[in-house]
Structure 1
Amino acid sequence: MNKGQLTTFEKIKANYNSLSKAGKKLADFVLKNPEKVIRMSISELARIVGLKSESTVVKFYRNIGFSGYHDFKVSLAGDLAGKSILHSYKDIYINDSVDNVKKKFFSSTIRAFHDHLEKFTDKLLEEGAKILSSSNRIICLGYGASAAIAKYAAFRFSVFDKEIFFSEDSHFNALILRKLKENDCIIAISYSGETKDVIIPLEHRRGAKLIAITGNKESSLGKISDLVFEVKIEEISMRTDALISRYIQMAIIDILFTILVINGGEKVLNELTAARKSFSHLKF
């Protein structure tokens, strides 16, 4: 942190007297529970503090100098982490050697997979595969870092005899999502579960099933979904996204893909073989 630059905690204390009664209540909660706040969606924070609406949270972070809730949480996480670049089971610091970074990433990833092994039950995965199997069209939705996982999902499921759609253009997606059909399925990926471009077009969908992969099942996305895969990693990032979580998100896609292949029998295996052959001319 630059000399003279206030921490998030100092900004809250400096502006405390100018806050409303509800704002002070929120400030007190943030100061006492910063570790919890950085893992909460804006709706979850408002609910737990006992506020009437999310607008109080918006006024709070704007009053202390932040333009968005995400910026506020990232700054708060940075204050907690100090010189830590990433806190994910094991802190990674700016003076770590390449060997330490490698070992910490691998050990943290292994632990993350182990922690989610029992969390994703057979019933949950079977239900996800059932929804995908009965769908005529699969729409993969995600922006920013989540777009990479959504694109990967679209690529994996494209081997099946289904219409697959993916785009990083939110306007194009909004048009597609206006014309959802009963046998459509949306796979929506958002770590925060509060991405407006994902949530708003899906709030009033008709008939189509929604599978969410998110870091918070109580988020806005989680609440409107038919099925939720909650990928929750205890990591604090200063200026990075939820790194380890993306490995788990990709694993969910691969597990669902494999279940569909197994359930599809010889027909799907033949489709998979044909798909592989279509790439043969791209290799020496």
Structure 2
Amino acid sequence: MTDTKEILTVQNLDVTFARSAMKAVAGVSLSLGQGKVGIVGESGSGKSTLGRAIMRLLPPSATVTASKLTFDGNPLLSQSEREMRALRGNRMSLIMQDPRYSLNPVLPIGRQVAETAILHKGLSKSAARAVAAEMLDRVRIKDVARVMESYPHQISGGMGQRVMIAAMLLSRPRLVIADEPTSALDVSVRGEVLELLNELVTADGSSLLLISHDIRMVASFCDRIVVMYKGRIVEELSRLSDARHPYTLGLIAAMPDARHPVHRLRVPDRATFDATERSGSPA
């Protein structure tokens, strides 16, 4: 059961880069209460750009406008960078897709996780290390003391993603944006990481915005599915069987299914997608 109170509200959000007339995100509107919402679409559809626009983490070349963009009722676009730094990693967190590029390669794991507690909880170094160790244990890291002294290159990808989740959820944020959190992991550990993420956000009462290419995974994991194509939301679903838009149906058809093997997967028909967008009808 999801909470009906809106934690995040987005209305008519646009993102453009430099002097380009093409909008990377165009007219996006969505709301998120306590629960899990998945955003799916192919590369370039605007998923990650939307997530970073919400976090105010786009480069200076980006222009972000919206009729409304609020977090817990507070307008995000009018917040100063100092105010946003107080929010990021504290009340709203972003989990990146590959720990190899998200963790600092020259700092031990324990120090990196403890930094969150120092920055957002105002703890001393010793108290922050204790909280970091507790959080690493919570994400089911074995031999926490050894891992805290290890460097990112000394741990596996699955363990690195657990470390990222620990660091981002240590402050128990209200909003968690997870950008392809399992794409860099082996298939054998993807399910474990998703299960862990679900347990943590549920226990802490957080809202999760999950960005992914995998529409079937999102459908099985999230309460609601938002489908993006060319920067726009083309369909919102609670289950895949309700899909009507040709693009959503194309994404489903392009995913391998062991239950229904085929000789060749269907190629998305972009002409049909674009015609549907121009007509405004999913039929």
More helix by share: 1
- TMscore range, shorter length: under 0.3
- TM-score (ref. length: structure 1): 0.26
Largest Rg, 1 or 2: 1
Greater relative contact order (Cα < 8 A, sep 6+): 2
More strand by share: 2
- TM-score (ref. length: structure 2): 0.26
